[in-house]
Amino acid sequence: MLTIKRLTSCTFEEAAQLWNEGFADYFFPMSMTVDMYVRRMAGEGLSPEYSVVAYVNEQPAGFILNGIRHNKGKKIAWNGGTVVIPRFRGLGIARSMVQASLAIYQENGVEIATLEAISENNRAIQLYKSMGYKVADHLAIYRQDNESGECVHYNETPTRYRMTYGRPSDTAGLPFYKHFVSWQTQWQSLRDGGEAFLVSDSSGQTVGYTLYKRTVDESGNLLGITLYQCEADNNREDREEIAVYTVNKLFSSCTVPCKQTAVNIASTNAPAARALERMGFTRDAEQAWMVRDL
C-alpha cells in the first residue's frame, strides 16, 4: 500500500539514506552525509513541512524536497529533489508525490511552481509535463579544473569598469537583478557563505553583478569557486564586455589549483556563456528549468 506523508515523519538519518539510495544510479555523484543533507536543507530554504515522503507497506520509498519563498511579491515553490529508490520504481510513486506537492503548494498560496531536471532525464521531464509543468529555459553547467594554479585570464580584458565587493543581498535591489531564475542561483540561497560583487562603469553607475561562493578546506585553503549569477543591465550595449570583465575578475584570482564551476547559466544569458567559453570552460551538463502556474 502506498502512503504519502510530510517529510516531518522522517528522521534526518532516514532522509539522507533515502537520498543516497535514490540517487545511487543518477547521472553524476549525489551522495551526501547526514550533515551535508541538513546543511543543504537549511542553506537552500527547503522545508520538511512542505516536503513529502512516500511509504510502500510502511517502508520509506522516496521523497520530494520542497521549499517556498517570496520572490518579488510572489510566492514561488521549488522541487529541490525527487527521489524514488530503484526497487520501488514503476509503481507511480513519483506521480503521487508530485500531486501531493502541488496540493501543498496550493494550500500555502504558491503562485508559481519550479524545478530543474537533467535534460537527458526524458522520463522525468515527460512526467512533469504531464503534471502541467512547461520548460521555460535551459540551464548549463560549466566546469574548468585549474590544476596548474596558474592565473587564467583574457588577453584583452576591459579596464574601464570597477568592482566592489558586497553581500548577495546587495544585488536584490538592483533594477536589473534577475528575480525569476533557478532557485539555487537566487541571492536567498547564498546568504550563508555566498559573496557578490557589483560592477560599475566610469560614471559610477552599477551596470552588472555576480553571485558566487568560495569553497575552502578546514585550514582555509581555497578548493573552488562557483559562479551562480553573472548579469549585466539589459539596457546596456556593452553587456558582452561587462560579462567578460566579471568572469575574468572572478576566476583569474584563482592562483592555486582549484575547481572552477558556473551553475545554471540560462540559455538566454548568452554574454555570460560566451565569456565562460572564451575563458576555457566547457559545458558539463544541461538542465531543463520547468515552471507551472498555480
With beta carbons less than 8 A apart as the criterion, state whether 253 and 219 touch: no
pLDDT < 70 regions, the chain: 28, 145-158
pLDDT in tens, 184-201: 999 999 988 899 999 999
Q: DSSP letter for 151, please.
A: P
Residue with cell 592555486: 256
Q: Which three cell numbers, joined as nine digits, stand for 260?
A: 572552477
Going by C-beta distance under 8 Å and a sequence separation of 6 or more, which residues neighbour residue 87? none
Task: Determine the pLDDT at residue 76.
Answer: 97
Domain boundaries, the chain: 2-110, 141-286
**How would you list the strands of the sheet with 206-216, edge to edge?**
2-6, 47-56, 59-71, 74-84, 112-118, 282-293, 134-146, 258-266, 222-232, 206-216, 194-200, 162-166
Task: Determine the pLDDT at residue 149.
Answer: 47
Task: Determine the pLDDT at residue 279.
Answer: 84
Task: Determine the pLDDT at residue 146.
Answer: 61
DSSP per-residue codes, 32-69: --HHHHHHHHHHTT-EEEEEEEEEETTEEEEEEEEEEE
CA 33 to CA 18: how far, in whole Å? 11
Task: Determine the pLDDT at residue 150.
Answer: 52
Task: Determine the pLDDT at residue 147.
Answer: 57
Q: Torsion-angle region of residue 189: left (phi > 0), alpha (psi -120 to 50) or beta? A: alpha
Task: Determine the pLDDT at residue 166.
Answer: 93
**SS3 (DSSP) at 98:** helix
Query: Nearest to residue 291, comparing CAs of 122, 128, 142, 179?
Result: 128
Specify the CATH number for 2-110; select among 3.40.630.30, 3.40.50.10480, 3.40.50.360, 3.40.50.720.
Answer: 3.40.630.30
Beta bridge pairs of residue 70 = 75
Task: Determine the pLDDT at residue 154.
Answer: 52
> One fold for both 2-110 and 141-286?
yes
Beta bridge pairs of residue 140 = 265, 286
CATH code of domain 141-286: 3.40.630.30
Residues of 126-156 as b/e, b for ≥16 C-beta within 10 angstroms?
ebbeebebeebbbbbbbbbebeeeeebeeee
Q: What are phi and psi of 18, to 5 degrees?
A: -60, -45
